[in-house]
């Protein structure tokens, strides 16, 4: 899902012997997730089967990676992906028992700081190899979070001048600089200037901007990005010194506000009322021009202390059951969610989850309540996932969430970033197993009369069968609806020949999956239960023997015979 926050680190371990050290490292890192090799590690937060594939996927997703294994394994796995040193996340190799910490990649993204944190947790000195870091305890190319280099093109030269023995004077202040071993000297030839002001750097000057500007917008405007640039320019401020953009809950969905925050590359936070924003450590009185207010605080601003993030709600489809049938974006949404809601069986299918993730499992019948619960959690700024089996838009939660949202007048609900992520529906899964019964026009019907009158179902069945569509039945039968399927089959049989193939897919993609192909004339309601999807062929649906003795079913793409009535 989109978002400005960086992914939490992933800790990868290949054996049970690394669990203790990995957990120590994990406790030192915010939100880190422990991944264990499936066949060797029993109590990780998540499991993986293929080390190379997993580490490359994490790398591409920009996830900081801490791998408890030989550095060579990591290097070989990532070698083909190392193109852009500014884009790579921190990557560290750690000896399997935690005795050595080796930062490998991500020098510009704080890998050394990460290595120190982990080294402290494991009681070992990290093997830091970056020259400036070793000599001065600082990498000016990547200042700590909260600071940004104004003239990054000059930082490499600046660093090599320092290494060659030049002294540096400091103009402005940043506490972290004072803790380094940089050769400060008021008479130095080099200068580090710490300022939120935009500055054309002179020769031998490195400009560092503290992210100390709060941009608050009261409402949107088409040219909002321009207005913000103008407001900053009017005060001589650098856009790089912006720390956070703040807007009202009611404006949470306005695209121009998101575009502006994105172009600044800064987090966007929301408050009920931006006029009520009060900042304790103001450096200068806020100035308002039009809808834009600019405030400057002393030192970098901590965005997490202002308002809340825009809540997200993803309504996801897990597919019929098999993990390989779940879309990667769904897996990611599940991995990053704070709250997961859904029918208990499906929530279990969607796991495993880490200890910080909150699971709200519920009964299958409370769909609208669950939808409202999900929206209110997301409206409070949380990242929420609602799970459905199969596709969330087919007899599932997506429609319930939209119904709940349409029925609400709460601007915070409408401000939630809502996305629906598709899944493979039961009929598609069963069809793939059988061959291609949905190869031509088809329709999907739910035989449940919980939410619609039975007379409507009969009428639709009659028309769909008369139209010679392949029919897929969901919710075909249940204890509370014992006779309906028999009646439905009577209606279909009035239009289709007894030899019409019927596919019964039960628990498709799940343990104990079964697939049967029976002629319509022989199908009995007892052959079917609520975990079955029923696909009734059309007049053109064909079968032939598979080499293994079972049956292929397909509906050709062409059509010549007209609808038949038997
Ligand atoms: N959103 C789901 C459907 C929910 S309705 C989807 O897109 O698949 C529930 C019905 O779907 C069940 O009664 C059954 O008919 C069908 N179904 C769901 N998962 C199934 C599976 N793995 N195998 C067979 N049928 C399934």
Q: Convert the pLDDT of each residue in 434-458 to its tens digit.
A: 999 999 999 999 999 888 899 999 9
Q: Could you identify the atom of ligand 1 that is nearest to the CA of residue 392?
A: 1
Closest alpha carbon to 269 in 251, 289, 294: 251
Using most ligand atoms within 8 A of CB, pick from 390, 428, 445, 509 the residue to mutate for ligand 1: 390
How remote is the CA of residue 320 from the centroid of ligand 1, in Å? Answer: 7
CB of 45 sitting under 6 A from ligand 1: no
For the sheet containing 435-436, what is the strand order?
Answer: 435-436, 551-554, 542-545
List pLDDT tens digits, range 181-234.
999 999 999 999 999 999 999 999 999 999 999 999 998 788 999 999 999 999
CA atoms within 13 A on the CB side of 492: 32
Determine the Cα–Cα distance for residues 387 and 547; give it in Å rounded to an integer: 38
Minimum CA distance residue for ligand 1 atom 11:
474
How remote is the CA of residue 395 from the centroid of ligand 1, in Å? Answer: 9
Using most ligand atoms within 8 A of CB, pick from 426, 485, 502, 516 the residue to mutate for ligand 1: 426
List pLDDT tens digits, range 315-325.
999 999 988 99
How remote is the CA of residue 508 from the centroid of ligand 1, in Å? Answer: 9
Q: Could you identify the atom of ligand 1 that is nearest to the CA of residue 448?
A: 13
How remote is the CA of residue 556 from the centroid of ligand 1, in Å? Answer: 25
Task: Report the DSSP pairing between strands 91-94 and 101-105.
Answer: antiparallel
Give the model's pLDDT for residue 351.
85
CB of 433 sitting under 6 A from ligand 1: no
566: confidence class by pLDDT, cuts 50, 70, 90: very low
Minimum CA distance residue for ligand 1 atom 12:
475
List pLDDT tens digits, range 48-67.
999 999 999 999 888 999 99
CB of 425 sitting under 6 A from ligand 1: yes
The per-residue b/e assignment along 350-384, b for 16 or more CB within 10 angstroms, e otherwise, is beebbeebeebeeeeeebeebbbbbbbbbbebbbb
CB of 319 sitting under 6 A from ligand 1: no
The answer to whether 155 and 210 have CB atoms below 8 angstroms apart is no
Give the model's pLDDT for residue 563.
53
User: Is residue 84 scored above 80 in pLDDT?
Assistant: no
Closest alpha carbon to 518 in 553, 547, 563: 553
The answer to whether 309 and 267 have CB atoms below 8 angstroms apart is yes
Question: Alpha-carbon torsion 130, 134, 140, 144, what sign?
Answer: positive
Minimum CA distance residue for ligand 1 atom 4:
395
Mean pLDDT is lowest, of 125-134, 246-255, 457-466, 535-544, for 125-134
Give the model's pLDDT for residue 564.
53
Give the model's pLDDT for residue 6.
66
How remote is the CA of residue 389 from the centroid of ligand 1, in Å? Answer: 7
How remote is the CA of residue 321 from the centroid of ligand 1, in Å? Answer: 10
Closest alpha carbon to 564 in 492, 486, 472, 504: 492
Q: Could you identify the atom of ligand 1 that is nearest to the CA of residue 317?
A: 1
CB of 339 sitting under 6 A from ligand 1: no
Determine the Cα–Cα distance for residues 404 and 372; give it in Å rounded to an integer: 6
Q: Where do we find the tokens 């009659």?
A: 462
The DSSP secondary structure of 488-542, one letter per residue, reads: HHHHHHTTS-TT-EEEEEESTTSTT-EEEEEEGGG--GGG--TTEEEEE--TT-E
Q: Read off the tokens for 524.
A: 């009995």
List pLDDT tens digits, range 373-419.
999 999 999 999 999 999 999 999 999 999 999 999 988 899 899 99
Determine the Cα–Cα distance for residues 201 and 79; give it in Å rounded to an integer: 37
Closest alpha carbon to 336 in 393, 375, 391, 382: 382
How remote is the CA of residue 533 from the centroid of ligand 1, in Å? Answer: 6
User: What average pLDDT does range 77-106 have in this prediction?
Assistant: 90
Using most ligand atoms within 8 A of CB, pick from 424, 474, 514 the residue to mutate for ligand 1: 474
The answer to whether 104 and 82 have CB atoms below 8 angstroms apart is no
CB of 277 sitting under 6 A from ligand 1: no
User: What average pLDDT does range 525-548 have in this prediction?
Assistant: 96
3: confidence class by pLDDT, cuts 50, 70, 90: very low
List pLDDT tens digits, range 322-359.
889 999 999 999 988 999 999 988 998 898 888 889 99
Element (H, E) at 36: strand 33-37
Sequence-separated (6 or more) residues with CB below 8 Å from residue 408: 372, 375, 414
The DSSP secondary structure of 43-112, one letter per residue, reads: SSSEEES-HHHHHHHHHHTT--EEEES-HHHHHHHHGGG---TTTPPPEEEE-TTSS-EEEEE-GGGTHH
CB of 388 sitting under 6 A from ligand 1: yes
Mean pLDDT is lowest, of 67-71, 146-150, 347-351, for 347-351
Task: Report the DSSP pairing between strands 213-217 and 242-248.
Answer: parallel
User: What average pLDDT does range 75-96 have in this prediction?
Assistant: 89
The answer to whether 14 and 68 have CB atoms below 8 angstroms apart is yes
User: Is residue 314 scored above 70 in pLDDT?
Assistant: yes
Mean pLDDT is lowest, of 80-84, 220-224, 463-467, 561-565, for 561-565
List pLDDT tens digits, range 165-181.
999 999 998 888 988 89
CB of 428 sitting under 6 A from ligand 1: no
299 vs 388, higher pLDDT? 388
364: confidence class by pLDDT, cuts 50, 70, 90: low
Minimum CA distance residue for ligand 1 atom 13:
475
Q: Where do we find the tokens 């750690």?
A: 94
Determine the Cα–Cα distance for residues 199 and 187; give it in Å rounded to an integer: 21
Mean pLDDT, the chain, rounded, equals: 92
CB of 389 sitting under 6 A from ligand 1: yes
User: Is residue 2 scored above 60 in pLDDT?
Assistant: no
How remote is the CA of residue 419 from the centroid of ligand 1, in Å? Answer: 21
Minimum CA distance residue for ligand 1 atom 20:
426
């Amino acid at each position: 899902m989109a978002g400005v926050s960086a992914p939490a680190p992933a800790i990868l371990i290949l054996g049970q012997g690394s669990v203790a050290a990995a957990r120590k490292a994990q406790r030192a890192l915010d939100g880190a997730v422990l991944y264990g090799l499936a066949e060797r590690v029993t109590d990780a937060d998540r499991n993986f089967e293929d080390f190379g594939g997993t580490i490359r996927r994490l790398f591409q997703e920009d996830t900081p990676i801490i791998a408890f294994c030989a550095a060579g394994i990591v290097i070989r796995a990532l070698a083909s992906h190392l193109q852009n040193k500014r884009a790579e996340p921190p990557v560290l190799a750690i000896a399997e028992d935690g005795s050595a910490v080796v930062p490998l990649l991500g020098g510009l993204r704080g890998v050394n700081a990460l290595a120190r944190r982990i080294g402290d947790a494991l009681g070992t000195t990290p093997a830091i190899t970056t020259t400036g870091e070793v000599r001065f305890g600082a990498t000016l190319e990547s200042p700590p979070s909260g600071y940004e280099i104004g003239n990054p093109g000059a930082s490499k030269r600046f660093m090599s001048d320092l290494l060659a023995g030049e002294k540096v004077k400091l103009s402005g202040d940043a506490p972290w600089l004072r803790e380094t071993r940089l050769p400060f000297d008021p008479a130095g030839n080099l200068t580090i200037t710490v300022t939120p002001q935009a500055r054309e750097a002179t020769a031998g000057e490195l400009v560092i901007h503290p992210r100390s500007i709060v941009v608050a917008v009261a409402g949107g405007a088409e040219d909002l990005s321009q207005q913000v640039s103008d407001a900053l320019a009017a005060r001589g401020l650098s856009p790089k010194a912006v720390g956070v953009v703040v807007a009202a809950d009611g404006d949470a969905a306005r695209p121009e506000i998101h575009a502006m925050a994105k172009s600044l590359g800064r987090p966007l936070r929301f408050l009920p009322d931006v006029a009520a924003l009060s900042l304790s450590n103001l450096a200068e009185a806020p100035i308002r021009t039009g809808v834009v207010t600019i405030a400057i605080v002393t030192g970098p601003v901590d965005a997490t202390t202002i308002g809340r993030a825009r809540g997200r709600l993803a309504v996801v489809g897990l597919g019929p059951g098999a993990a390989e049938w779940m879309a990667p974006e769904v897996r990611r949404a599940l991995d990053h969610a704070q709250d997961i809601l859904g029918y208990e069986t499906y929530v279990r299918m969607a796991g495993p989850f880490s200890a910080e993730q909150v699971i709200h499992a519920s009964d299958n019948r409370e769909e609208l309540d669950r939808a409202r619960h999900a929206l209110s959690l997301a409206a409070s700024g949380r990242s929420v996932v609602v799970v459905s089996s199969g596709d969330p838009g087919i007899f599932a939660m997506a429609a319930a969430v939209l119904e709940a949202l349409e029925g609400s007048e709460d601007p915070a609900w409408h401000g939630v970033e809502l996305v629906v992520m598709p899944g493979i529906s039961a009929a598609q899964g069963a069809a793939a197993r059988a061959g291609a019964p949905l190869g031509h026009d088809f329709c999907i019907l739910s035989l449940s009369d919980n939410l619609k009158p039975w007379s409507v179902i009969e009428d639709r069945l009659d028309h769909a069968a008369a139209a010679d569509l392949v029919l897929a039945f969901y919710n075909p039968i249940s204890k509370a609806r014992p006779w309906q399927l028999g009646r439905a089959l009577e209606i279909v049989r009035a239009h289709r020949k007894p030899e019409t193939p019927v596919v019964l897919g039960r628990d498709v993609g799940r343990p104990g999956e079964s697939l049967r192909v029976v002629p319509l004339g022989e199908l009995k309601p007892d052959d079917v239960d609520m975990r079955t999807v029923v696909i009734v062929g059309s007049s053109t649906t064909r079968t032939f023997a598979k080499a293994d003795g079972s049956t292929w079913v397909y509906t050709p793409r062409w059509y010549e015979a007209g609808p038949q009535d038997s």
